Amino acid sequence: MKTFYITTPIYYVNANPHLGHAYTTIVADAMARFHRCLGEDTLFLTGTDEHGDKIVQAAEKRGLTPRQFVDEISGHFRALWPRLGIANDRFVRTTDEQHKAAVQDFLQKVYDAGDIYFGEFGGHYCYGCERFYTEKELENGLCPQHLTKPEFISEKNYFFRMSKYLPWLREYILANPDFIRPERYRGEVLAMLESGALEDLCISRPKTRLTWGIELPFDHDYVCYVWFDALINYISALGWPGGAEYARYWPGEHLVAKDILKPHAVFWPTMLKAAGLPLYRHLNVHGYWLVRDTKMSKSLGNVVDPLDMGQRYGLDAFRYFLLREMHFGSDASFSEEALVGRINADLANDLGNLFSRVLSMTAKYCDSQIPAGTVHTDADRAIEELCASAMENYLQLFRNVRFAQALEALWELVRALNKYVDSQAPWTLAKEGQQERLSTVLNILLACMRKIALCLWPVMPKAAGAMLAQLGEEVPDDGTPPTRDLAAETASLSGLRVGAKAAPASNLFPRIDSAALAEEQAAKKAKSQEKTKKVQAKDEKKKADAAATSPLPEISFDTFKSLDLRVGTVVSAERHPHADRLLRLLIDFGEGEPRQILSGIAEYYAPEALAGRQVCAVLNLAPRKIRGLMSCGMVLTAGVGDCCRLLTPDEVVPAGSPIS
Ligand code: ME8
């Protein structure tokens, strides 16, 4: 029996799962279900990556031990997957004893073969990436991922002789065009291999610097580099070296995003080669989910919670959207408007409407009993052919991880079926008493709908199960696929249970009120703009304060003497009619007439408390109009941050006294 083994990256436990993690795992789930429908012996693995500096730091921040911390977050990942309709067969943790033993076996094997050596090494270490960079890899001296300056660290370490295998890897990738797919990532890896920037891989960390890792079997003063440890999960979870599942399922398929292309496309195959193990079959690489074209990040507050989306819009609709919207390999932009747009157009209008129309007609004209029929007319034959070709395309594209195109191919059939309903007009056939023709039309429609439901089960297991149930089939709800031979289903329209009871009505995907959503989104946007404004204002104030406290360039005595600084007595004060932060002060400087000065002290002084008070001011500042009123000079204040105090002589002096 053909086997299919699919893996996701094992996720870091330094953050909770978000849309990106959910996407990869949902795609892996859909692939596993798809291959089950093809009758393949399938195994689906996901898990968590739990060693390394980052984990220790994240645990410290929470006041937990690394062990307590990884148990907690790994638990969140494990609990999330079933809630997203994901049915993984295994869950691997790099802190599992079985994994640790496998990593040590692997290291020993490569060490014994002479491909691990001890050496002194100085390199640019990025703590964010937990890896060394070569001079060539840095961009303007900075880590290309984090744009921070790495620390130069020189220490003795163990190295994997990766460079020895790089020419072989290049040849292998050239000879196996779909080893890394889609093509753009294959090209990227070949360019990497041809750049000459890759060297041997440092695979150890001294325990003096890091203890949270797997000890090297040949030197107890060192732990294993987290990537070398993590990649081995793909076989440790199968019980390598001796496990029966390893023998049964390896080599498998990997699914990752572009961020971790290099470890999977370069480190891992060379590691496998050095250990004398077969390479994986395919590395499937997808792009990044952006949110309104910006990177998801905690600080921007735009992280999408997959559970929240599933709960709001229905899990199956959310899964469909993810697979349909992202062209595998390219980046895609997430927004609730786009999600609602797809739900309304593809699911409510096209697919939901087809089910609802056809089932209600079957109820009306056939008492919900699935009618028999045989293909007769050209229109019937065209639909029959389209059904076969759409399914074949779907299968072919899905196998090649082109999910968006696969679904589009299937929707050609969905839309054609809606048109077929219109052109065949079963209501007219009923009116004219053409019972046989009516039966045939409904039979063809129901048979095609069944095929669509079978194809969609990997993507929307619950909804597809409901569709099949509406067509009179019994579908277990335990993850058992509705067919083990989806490929054979393309051959003919057969398979429909003629005579069985169909559901009298169907409301699979209710339309979502997009106007209400738009309103909600606008409110959200306004709130987030408000937040951004506040953050910006705070930043500006910080900058202004920093500028106020930083030393200014030297000035000459003459320049200082050119300032007309004087003490005045406030005659009256009131709020500026058009500016909240300003007070309008009339101040006596002994000039005969009081002078009008506007001052930004409204937040700090009540106007009524100022009359009679003495203040210091610059008088020969060029007069300025501020919000409709003239200001002739500037009152002096002192303070940083939220502090602002008026300068006043410590005893009363005559109004207009110069300050020197
Ligand atoms: O890299 N869009 O773990 P990780 C799409 N532990 N996918 C995304 C995404 C986004 N915006 N953000 C994350 C690690 N992902 C290592 C892996 S494997 C031996 C070790 C998904 O928690 C995507 O699958 O940073 C990406 O490759 C993965 O999360 C990175 O997960």
For residue range 581-631, what is the model confidence (pLDDT) as tens digits? 999 999 999 999 999 999 999 989 999 989 999 999 999 999 999 988 999
Per the CB < 8 A criterion, the answer to whether 317 and 471 are in contact is no
Q: Which residue, judged by its Cα, is nearest atom 10 of ligand 1? A: 20
Task: State the closest ligand 1 atom to the C-alpha of 268, by its place in the atom list counted from 1.
Answer: 19
Q: Which residue, judged by its Cα, is nearest atom 31 of ligand 1? A: 11
Task: State the closest ligand 1 atom to the C-alpha of 257, by its place in the atom list counted from 1.
Answer: 27
Confidence of residue 549 (pLDDT cuts 50, 70, 90): low
Phi, psi (degrees; rounded to nearest 5) at 340: -65, -40
282 as an active site residue: the answer is no
**Span 107-119, average pLDDT:** 97
Q: How many domains does the chain have?
A: 3
**Span 255-277, average pLDDT:** 98
Residue 139 falls within a domain, yes or no?
A: no
Quote the tokens at residue 551.
């030393």
Same domain assignment for residues 387 and 535: no
Which of 297, 283, 254 is CA-nearest to residue 19?
297
**Span 374-399, average pLDDT:** 96
Residue 310 falls within a domain, yes or no?
A: no
Range from 156-165, 202-211, 379-388 carrying the lowest mean pLDDT: 202-211
| pTM score, whole prediction | 0.80
Distance 259 CA to ligand 1 centre (A): 7
Confidence of residue 508 (pLDDT cuts 50, 70, 90): very high
pLDDT at 615 (0 to 100) = 96
In short, whether 260's Cβ falls inside 6 Å of ligand 1 is: yes
Residue 438 falls within a domain, yes or no?
A: yes
d(CA 432, CA 428): 6
The residue annotated as part of the active site, out of 146, 156, 524, 542, is: 146
129 as an active site residue: the answer is yes
pLDDT at 210 (0 to 100) = 87
Per the CB < 8 A criterion, the answer to whether 193 and 170 are in contact is yes
Q: Render pLDDT for 51-60 as a digit per residue (tens, 0 to 9).
A: 988 888 889 9
pLDDT at 539 (0 to 100) = 72
Task: State the closest ligand 1 atom to the C-alpha of 14, by its place in the atom list counted from 1.
Answer: 22
643 as an active site residue: the answer is no
In short, whether 296's Cβ falls inside 6 Å of ligand 1 is: yes
CATH number at residue 640: 2.40.50.140
**Span 532-544, average pLDDT:** 74
pLDDT at 526 (0 to 100) = 78
Same domain assignment for residues 356 and 427: yes
Q: Is residue 380 scored above 70 in pLDDT? A: yes
For the chain, percent of residues with pLDDT exceeding 70: 99
Q: Is residue 547 scored above 80 in pLDDT? A: no
90-93 and 41-49: which strand pairing?
parallel
Q: Which residue, judged by its Cα, is nearest atom 3 of ligand 1? A: 11
Q: Render pLDDT for 436-489 as a digit per residue (tens, 0 to 9).
A: 999 999 999 999 999 999 999 999 999 999 999 999 998 888 889 999 999 999
Give the chain's mean pLDDT.
Answer: 93
Distance 21 CA to ligand 1 centre (A): 6
Same domain assignment for residues 341 and 399: yes
Same domain assignment for residues 424 and 471: yes
Quote the tokens at residue 373.
């029929």
The residue annotated as part of the active site, out of 21, 51, 54, 282, is: 21
In short, whether 49's Cβ falls inside 6 Å of ligand 1 is: yes
> Which of the listed residues 457, 490, 523 is the one where a domain comes to its end?
490
Same domain assignment for residues 442 and 333: yes
Q: Could you tell me how many residues make up the chain?
A: 660
126 as an active site residue: the answer is yes
Range from 14-18, 259-263, 264-268, 372-376 carrying the lowest mean pLDDT: 14-18
**Bridge partners of residue 161, in order along the sequence:** none
Same domain assignment for residues 609 and 573: yes
Per the CB < 8 A criterion, the answer to whether 429 and 403 are in contact is no
Same domain assignment for residues 463 and 608: no
In short, whether 513's Cβ falls inside 6 Å of ligand 1 is: no
Residue 157 falls within a domain, yes or no?
A: no
Task: State the closest ligand 1 atom to the C-alpha of 290, by its place in the atom list counted from 1.
Answer: 11
CATH number at residue 340: 1.10.730.10
In short, whether 23's Cβ falls inside 6 Å of ligand 1 is: yes
Residue 66 falls within a domain, yes or no?
A: no
Same domain assignment for residues 372 and 481: yes
| Domain span holding position 561 | 557-646
Residue 261: how many CB atoms within 10 A of its CB?
18
Confidence of residue 550 (pLDDT cuts 50, 70, 90): low
Same domain assignment for residues 486 and 420: yes
Buried-state track 400-426, b at ≥16 Cβ within 10 A, e below 16: bbbbbbbbbbbbebbeebbebbeebeb
Residue 589 falls within a domain, yes or no?
A: yes
Same domain assignment for residues 468 and 342: yes
Range from 38-42, 149-153, 392-396, 458-462 carrying the lowest mean pLDDT: 149-153
Same domain assignment for residues 348 and 443: yes
Same domain assignment for residues 444 and 535: no
Q: Render pLDDT for 13-67 as a digit per residue (tens, 0 to 9).
A: 877 789 999 999 999 999 999 999 999 999 999 999 999 888 888 899 899 999 9
d(CA 100, CA 109): 14
Per the CB < 8 A criterion, the answer to whether 467 and 456 are in contact is yes
In short, whether 52's Cβ falls inside 6 Å of ligand 1 is: no
Q: What angle do CA 204, 210, 216 make, to 5 degrees?
A: 40
In short, whether 24's Cβ falls inside 6 Å of ligand 1 is: yes
> Which of the listed residues 502, 537, 552 is the one where a domain comes to its end?
552
pLDDT at 38 (0 to 100) = 98
264 as an active site residue: the answer is no
> Which of the listed residues 552, 574, 604 is the one where a domain comes to its end?
552
Q: Which residue, judged by its Cα, is nearest atom 30 of ligand 1? A: 11
The helix or strand, by DSSP H or E, that contains position 453, with its residue range, turns out to be helix 435-456
Residue 349 falls within a domain, yes or no?
A: yes
254 as an active site residue: the answer is no
Q: Which of 259, 284, 286 to mutate to test the pocket of ligand 1 (most atoms within 8 A of CB)?
A: 259
Confidence of residue 546 (pLDDT cuts 50, 70, 90): low
Residue 409 falls within a domain, yes or no?
A: yes
Highest mean pLDDT among 205-214, 260-269, 505-514, 546-555: 260-269
Which of 387, 394, 392 is CA-nearest to residue 456?
394
